[in-house]
Structure 1
Amino acid sequence: MMSFEDSVSPEFFELERKAIFARAWLNIGRVEQLPRTGSYFTKELDVVRASIVVVRDRDGNVNAFHNVCRHRGNKLVWNEFPRAEDSGTCRQFTCKYHGWRYGLDGALEFVQQEGEFFDLDKKDLGLARVHCEVWAGFIFVNLDVEPRQTLREFLGPMITDLEGYPFEKMTEWYEFRADNQSNWKLFADAFQEYYHVPGLHSQQVPSGVRTPGKGFECAHFQIDGPHRMVSTGGARRWTLPAEFMYPIERVTHSGLVGPWESPDIGMPPPGLNPGRVEPWGIDNFQIFPNIEILIYRGWYLLYRYWPTSYNSHRFEGMLCFQPARTARERVEHETAAVVFKEFALQDAGMLTGTQTALESAYRTAGMTHFPVNDQEILVRHFHKAVADWVDEYRGEQAGGR
């Protein structure tokens, strides 16, 4: 039995914001979004009530700053709508309000009518820097005053053993974003276990092929610190009977698991398929707190879950392929993206019901604990990792009183 009180409590969510999202390393993008000097993008982190601007400077470094002008606190980088995310290329950042200008390294370079200020030292008024590190092309930020670990230490060997996987080659992206009326952990839970597949996804993965060696199974689980992973095994999808796939999959040779034939990626890194499952299907790496990387044959999926309140979050999904070389390959990628969206919508469509039912159970029926089975081991681990971070924060706050 485990409690889901952490998914229905506004008070617990406030603790998560401070204990986890204000102190953990958070993935906010990839280096391909910054292809040249002056390339930038902004990221709205509602969970910590922060706006971040990420930019490549003249030395090729990736910098992150709070998206705030040091003069009067105006939002510095935005286009038509201040709350919308933005991207582009520039030589410097100029505040729309009073015209202060900042270099790509964050230094304050120009003050309008500087002589009107007393004892103003531009060296002390550069943009407020956010801790920023890059691993395997993934850009992470940490909003803590001083992170307790480097990014590499935080990720640990289970994740860093993926180094060498050619993420950088997979630059044909299909991106999805949706606001969901459920706690962020509930959507993450849906992708940490496959016990739900025969019930919820019976058309894509029917129960008849959910037996070992016949189609789809969880073949290997692994944990490392707060991070988790699961590998699936079973027969290749294209070897299954025709009734177990959509007609479009049979025509395009693509679908739920992507193209049936993908470009060779060379020698896989040691962290891929760590359980040496054969035949291997998917590796799903869940990096605490809110990112998942699902690696298929020759392509990968990226999920992020950004809390917006205790019972809502923004879901981001991205399919990443090596650029299509032919029209047929482009159709294969498009097919995979469409089938993925339907698959994800089936998961997302359950979650408002789950959220409202859990809140009802907790507040009116007194139900706080629910049974989970061995296929849901990563769900238990995830919620325990969240609780551990919150408990550590509570202890620190109590000790500081």
Structure 2
Amino acid sequence: MAHFPKPAEGSWTEHYPELGTGPVSFEDSISPEHYDLERKAIFERTWLNVGRVEQVPRKGSHFTKEIHAARTSLIIVRGAQGEVRAFHNVCRHRGNKLVWNDYPQEETRGTARQFTCKYHGWRYGLDGACTFVQQEKEFFDLDTSEYGLVPVRCEVWEGFIFVNLDDDATPLRDYLGRLAQGLEGYPFGEMTEVYRYRSEVGSNWKLYIDAFAEFYHAPVLHAKQYVGEESRKLMGYGYESLHYDIDGPHSMQSAWGGMAPPKDLNIVKPIERVLRSGNFGPWDRPDIAGLDPLPPGVNPSGHPAWGLDSYVFFPNFMIVVWAPGWYLTYHYWPTAYNKHIFEGTLYFVPPKTAADRLRQELAAVTFKEFGLQDCNTLEATQTMLESRAVTHFPLNDQEILIRHLHKSAADQVAAYLDH
């Protein structure tokens, strides 16, 4: 296996002196009091991705999103003029959750001409206006124009729907910054074949982002995924990513490994050889616009062995663009200081043949196995961090984005406390 050295820039971390190079504390991941500050400082004040426009394809299409860290539930809906709107999911009469099915804590989706409260039958249009009050004459000086659904800021970037509970926040595209602009033009909208995974994880939300913020762990944690002598070779070489970049609270890393098919087919499993697919996705790139040439922000090092770019859009949204022509997203939704909901979603160009479908299925189940390995250590990590037997931990140069994530979160809390 070829080993590609670190680019000539030298130490990545030392390019960002504000991050430091000393041991770090993870107290921010084990303190209930700090988590409560993060809820208010981060999740009630930053842009949060809640889905894609394909989830609301036509007038009246809608879905709900539970944002536990902000103590709210939202309705995302396609309006009469094609606009995407967001509202707090609460009836203005007695505060009942407005849109839900059998279990009020579960997210739901559907299509409706209007929203009707299950409790007393108040109705709301797709624009949030109150359109009907049961026995309206029984109320005292009720002006229904003052009792529409409470709107939430909602903007769309490259088909991704974002919300922000802070009415004074900077516009979305400005917030996402340079890294997002470098992705613009990637054919996200062509990749509508979707596979979803969702799980409750017993760790702080930042610790799972940490797990995907470095590939230093890959030769060790994922050793059993390789066949023959591949695991031993990886252990001997170690792993270093090709490129790192930081823009405000956002970051990215670019990694190698994108040869598809691999030069030596003996390093992959027989089913991967037969289907021409695996963890990097189907080997045969789809023939769609937007992949050749790629947008300028993709594979910024221009490395011939480029395999993927992983972007973290603070606080809890990741996009991973893969060289063979597909992408996935990760979301980390906190539910407590030591628990969160992890969502992993894979996006492919719709298959044209049964073989295409099988290749995508293989990539999806392989991703699940890798994802399970990545989260398998987290609950043990959370437990031992909470013991406080050790309070400071060394990070290497490849773990620069871990330093950056925790500093970004801490800076957001500090700004909130100073406000």
Give the TM-score taking structure 2 as reference length.
0.90
Question: Structure 2: which amino acid aligns with 1:256?
Answer: N
Matched-pair contact (CA < 8 Å) for 1:220–1:275: yes
Per-residue CA distance 1:236-268 (angstroms, 9 max, x = gap): 153253443222211211011000112033331
Question: Structure 2: which amino acid aligns with 1:208?
Answer: K
Instruction: Determine which of 185, 192, 206 is the counterpart of 1:185.
Output: 206
Measure, in 2, the Cα distance between the counterparts of 1:358 and 1:15.
19
Per-residue CA distance 1:127-181 (angstroms, 9 max, x = gap): 000110000000000012x233111111001112211111011000000000010
Instruction: Determine which of 61, 67, 72 is the counterpart of 2:83.
Output: 61
Matched-pair contact (CA < 8 Å) for 2:259–2:307: yes
SS of 1:307's equivalent?
Answer: strand
Instruction: Determine which of 314, 338, 349 is the counterpart of 2:365.
Output: 338
Q: 1:373: which partner in 2?
A: 396
Q: 1:154: which partner in 2?
A: 175
Sequence identity percentage = 58
Question: Structure 2: which amino acid aligns with 1:18?
Answer: K
Instruction: Determine which of 214, 218, 226 is the counterpart of 1:197.
Output: 218
Q: Does 1:281 align with 2:311?
A: no
Q: Does 1:208 align with 2:240?
A: no
Q: 2:191: which partner in 1?
A: 170
Instruction: Determine which of 331, 334, 339 is the counterpart of 1:307.
Output: 334
SS of 1:16's equivalent?
Answer: helix
Question: Structure 1: which amino acid aligns with 2:193?
Answer: E
Measure, in 2, the Cα distance between the counterparts of 1:377 and 1:58.
46
Measure, in 1, the Cα distance between the counterparts of 2:64 and 2:337.
24
For the aligned residues, what is the CA RMSD?
Answer: 1.5
Measure, in 2, the Cα distance between the counterparts of 1:258 and 1:148.
37
Measure, in 1, the Cα distance between the counterparts of 2:269 and 2:342.
26
Which runs of structure 2 are paired with 1:23-62 in the superposition (5 Å)?
23-62=45-84
Could you tell me how far 1:234 is from its partner in structure 2? 4.2
SS of 2:328's equivalent?
Answer: strand
Q: 1:293: which partner in 2?
A: 319
Question: Structure 2: which amino acid aligns with 1:68?
Answer: V
Measure, in 2, the Cα distance between the counterparts of 1:277 and 1:111.
62
Matched-pair contact (CA < 8 Å) for 2:218–2:239: no
Q: Which moved more, 1:384-393 or 1:267-276?
A: 267-276
Q: 1:387: which partner in 2?
A: 410
Matched-pair contact (CA < 8 Å) for 1:193–1:376: yes
Which runs of structure 2 are paired with 1:247-286 in the superposition (5 Å)?
247-264=270-287, 265-286=291-312
Q: 1:399: which partner in 2?
A: none
Could you tell me how far 1:323 is from its partner in structure 2? 0.1
SS of 1:203's equivalent?
Answer: helix
The structure-2 alpha-carbon separation of the partners of 1:113 and 1:179, relative to structure 1 and needing over 3 Å to count, comes to same
Matched-pair contact (CA < 8 Å) for 1:216–1:232: no
Q: 2:158: which partner in 1?
A: 136
SS of 1:88's equivalent?
Answer: strand
Could you tell me how far 1:106 is from its partner in structure 2? 0.3
User: Unpaired segments of 5 or more residues in structure 1?
Assistant: 397-401
Instruction: Determine which of 225, 240, 246 is the counterpart of 1:223.
Output: 246
Measure, in 2, the Cα distance between the counterparts of 1:106 and 1:235.
47
Q: 1:352: which partner in 2?
A: 379
The structure-2 alpha-carbon separation of the partners of 1:376 and 1:151, relative to structure 1 and needing over 3 Å to count, comes to same
Q: 1:97: which partner in 2?
A: 119
Measure, in 2, the Cα distance between the counterparts of 1:261 and 1:42.
36
Measure, in 1, the Cα distance between the counterparts of 2:196 and 2:274.
24
SS of 1:161's equivalent?
Answer: helix
Could you tell me how far 1:368 is from its partner in structure 2? 1.5
Question: Structure 2: which amino acid aligns with 1:392?
Answer: A
Q: Does 1:236 align with 2:249?
A: no
SS of 2:415's equivalent?
Answer: helix
Matched-pair contact (CA < 8 Å) for 1:204–1:244: no
Per-residue CA distance 1:50-102 (angstroms, 9 max, x = gap): 00000001000000000000011111001111111110000000111111110
Measure, in 2, the Cα distance between the counterparts of 1:202 and 1:48.
38
Q: Which moved more, 1:85-94 or 1:237-246?
A: 237-246
Could you tell me how far 1:112 is from its partner in structure 2? 1.0
Matched-pair contact (CA < 8 Å) for 1:184–1:312: yes
Would you say how many aligned residue pairs link Structure 1 and Structure 2? 389
User: Unpaired segments of 5 or more residues in structure 2?
Assistant: 1-22
Measure, in 1, the Cα distance between the counterparts of 2:304 and 2:46.
35
Q: 2:99: which partner in 1?
A: 77
The structure-2 alpha-carbon separation of the partners of 1:246 and 1:82, relative to structure 1 and needing over 3 Å to count, comes to same
Measure, in 2, the Cα distance between the counterparts of 1:102 and 1:307.
30
Which runs of structure 2 are paired with 1:113-132 in the superposition (5 Å)?
113-132=135-154
SS of 1:218's equivalent?
Answer: coil
The structure-2 alpha-carbon separation of the partners of 1:356 and 1:335, relative to structure 1 and needing over 3 Å to count, comes to same
Measure, in 2, the Cα distance between the counterparts of 1:283 and 1:47.
28
